[in-house]
Amino acid sequence: MAYTFTLTAGEDEVRPISVDYDIEEIRNRYLKLSTPFASDVLFAMGLPSQAMDTGIYPLKDDMKVAGPAFTSSRYRGTIAKSIDKKHIDLIPSLTPGCVFISDDGGDRACAHMGDILCMLYQSRGCTGAVLDWAARDTGTIAEMGFPMFCRGKNPTAGHERSVVIDYNVPIFVHGVDGMLRVNPGDFIFGDSDGVVIIPKDKTVEVLEKMEAMAAIEVEMRAAVNGGMDAMEAFRKFRRS
């Protein structure tokens, strides 16, 4: 089902993401690959800590996300309810092809996103969401086909428990080696194995290395399936 909304910016300025590549083309190329390739390439480039930690998975195994990060920063605690409207104020800034990613704001007592926000964000071209905590309305979100990556599910709404206080600013999420910084425009890539954060200026370089790595594996599998000894194939086609 398609949804159309006419929205105007709130009191905050519009802050779209700016990148120097064709988002749709790069997205589609990433979506043909897998996160282990991304993690391995980044490791070889001296960036071993770019994956979010274990527990961030899609609602359905076949869901994937790929796109520049549209970041959201949260705050835990009782604040004036009017501040929570930033969830709506940020919508005009959403860049087609982006992936919404939110820190946990120190709050693990509620869901940070539900089906209505997913519907609104999707209508503006957002291609998925990564939450460092929980989502709700997950059945409806899955039916929408909106790729949602999160740690779990919780029926409790955020309201004054945890609210968005800023967007398209640097945030920190839980990574494999501690807190991991995510900048606006960093490339988010996620599949059933988890989520990897690729630095903005390395988006295309990492992709090209991933494609080369994938091609080598295709050759190795074909060789083994064609009768080559497994160890011989491993030595011949090993990456490095």
Alpha carbon dihedral 140, 145, 146, 147, in 10-degree steps, equals 110
Which pLDDT belongs to residue 140? 97
Which pLDDT belongs to residue 9? 40
Which pLDDT belongs to residue 178? 96
The model's pLDDT over 168-180, given as tens digits with 9 standing for 90+, comes to 999 999 999 999 9
Q: What phi and psi values does residue 236 have, to the nearest 5 degrees? A: -70, -40
* Closest-CA residue to 111 (of 91, 131, 127): 131
- Triad 201, 207, 212: Cα angle to 5°: 140
The model's pLDDT over 104-140, given as tens digits with 9 standing for 90+, comes to 887 778 888 999 999 999 999 999 999 999 999 999 9
Element (H, E) at 36: helix 35-44
Which pLDDT belongs to residue 226? 81
Which stretches in the chain have pLDDT values below 50?
1-10, 80, 82
Which pLDDT belongs to residue 120? 95
Domains of the chain: 23-201 (3.50.30.40)
